[in-house]
Amino acid sequence: MSSLSHSRVATVGSGVMAESIIAGLLRGKLVPPERITGSEPRPERREELERQYGVRMVASNLDAVRDTDVILLSVKPQTLNKVGHELCGHLQPDQLVVSIVAGANCNVLTNLLEHSQVVRSMPNTPAQIGCGVTVWYATPAVTEEQCGKARTLLQALGTDLRVEDERFVEMATAVSGTGPAYVFLVMEALIDAAVHLGFPRHVAHDLVIETLEGSTAFAKATAHHPAVLRNMVTSPGGTSAAAIHELESGRLRTVLSEAVWASYRRTIELGADLEQGLGLNEGDPEPAGGRRGAQRAAGGSAARRSAGRKSAV
Ligand SMILES: NC(=O)c1ccc[n+]([C@@H]2O[C@H](COP(=O)([O-])OP(=O)(O)OC[C@H]3O[C@@H](n4cnc5c(N)ncnc54)[C@H](OP(=O)(O)O)[C@@H]3O)[C@@H](O)[C@H]2O)c1
């Protein structure tokens, strides 16, 4: 029996990610379909989800959340304000809101909804096949029982990692949330290079996908540091050494690091924009932008390291 077996779950905004959660919950028999209600503006989408999963679909967000225990907030960030104002004043004190909305921090969520029991989470795209990783943070008002429910809900998307400091959700947005975009770009570049060498595109595709999948599985199975694994395939004066020299000359590591920092700064900015929309950061003399601002927002690298030890799950 799961911690959600006797709970009623609502999905507010029933798009791609909400569908992944619904599918995962039903696949794992964690919640029966009659206990799931989703809201969605488009009638054809409501019919599609009802037909496919046997869940109840409604047009009104308020109807969806009524008498539910756990509410998944899964609208796009640009829709959050509107939906938040609709829900505000209609949530019961014991209802748990689990948000997956990118950039929406707990300050935004609790103020917008006027509700304190909130979980902020950041899943990633492989969640669509149950292979995602979701980092989540619960506000102090969330009970341990509710945390259990949040975990069960988010595990429908794959692996979950609870953190005790919300800043790690922002950092995770730049690493695991945006991570698939980095991997897909590398994947695409390798496929194009293989086509350039002369492979037919479908063969190039399969070679690259299998190589990435096999390398990941190998790293996971051995638990070796990637440098150890890379050294294993790098013979003196060999082909890998020649290729790696080119990658290092092209500043691959630095570019990746800069990409992660850019994504992190953007996450902080999105949160600040949402706060500004709600009038929450008026009078803030220094918006959190730029690397220094982001570093301060993260408490500096030393603070990050010590916070990291404390908040390991
Ligand atoms: N996709 C990812 O990999 C991923 C990863 C991490 C986080 N997220 C976050 O997850 C959230 C959902 O992403 P998604 O990919 O599932 O987006 P999505 O497929 O666009 O889902 C959003 C859903 O909300 C519906 N909606 C629009 N206006 C609404 C309203 N007023 N009330 C209720 N529902 C409304 C949309 O309906 P219409 O289609 O009819 O407009 C759509 O079905 C986003 O905030 C995103 O930042 C996504």
Which of 76, 82, 85, 122 for mutating ligand 1's site (highest number of atoms within 8 Å of CB)? 76
The tally of CA atoms less than 13 A away on the side-chain side of residue 134 is 32
Q: What φ, ψ does residue 42 adopt, rounded to 5°?
A: -90, 125
* Domain locations in the chain as residue ranges: 9-166, 179-250
Query: From CA 130, how far away is CA 127, in angstroms rounded?
Result: 5
The shares of helix, strand and coil residues in the chain, as percent rounded to the nearest 5, are: 60, 10, 30
CA distances from 160 to 146, 156, 223, 293 (A): 15, 9, 19, 28
| Ligand 1 center to 123 CA (angstroms) | 13
How is domain 179-250 classified at the CATH fold level? ProC C-terminal domain-like fold (1.10.3730)
Among 148, 124, 104, residue whose Cα is nearest residue 20: 124
Mean pLDDT across the stretch 214-238?
96
Supply the pTM of this predicted model: 0.89
pLDDT at 284: 54
Q: Which residues line ligand 1 (CB under 6 A)?
A: 12-18, 39-42, 45, 61, 74-77, 79, 82-83, 100-102, 122-125, 177
Do 191 and 205 contact (CB within 8 A), yes or no? yes
Closest CA to 273 of 80, 33, 38: 80
- The pLDDT score that the predictor gives to residue 279 is 87
Mean pLDDT value across residues 3-16: 94
The atom of ligand 1 lying closest to the CA of 41 is 40
Question: Does 295 have pLDDT greater than 80?
Answer: no
Q: What is the CATH architecture assignment of 9-166?
A: 3-Layer(aba) Sandwich (3.40)
What's the rounded mean pLDDT across residues 18-42?
95
pLDDT surpasses 90 at 27: yes
Nearest-atom number in ligand 1 for the CA of 104 is: 45
Strands 96-99 and 118-122: parallel
Confidence tier at 282 by pLDDT (50, 70, 90):
low
User: Using CA atoms, how far apart are residues 38 and 41, in angstroms rounded to an integer?
Assistant: 10
Q: Which amino acid is at 239?
A: T
For atom 39 of ligand 1, the residue with the nearest CA is: 15
User: Is pLDDT of 32 > 70?
Assistant: yes
Helix axis angle for 106-113 and 77-87, nearest 10°, is 30
Check: CB of residue 142 under 8 Å from CB of residue 185: no
**Selected residue with higher pLDDT from 83 and 277:** 83
CB 86 within 8 A of CB 106: no
pLDDT for 283 equals 57
The residue whose CB lies within 8 Å of the most ligand 1 atoms, and thus the one to mutate among 40, 88, 153, 184, is 40
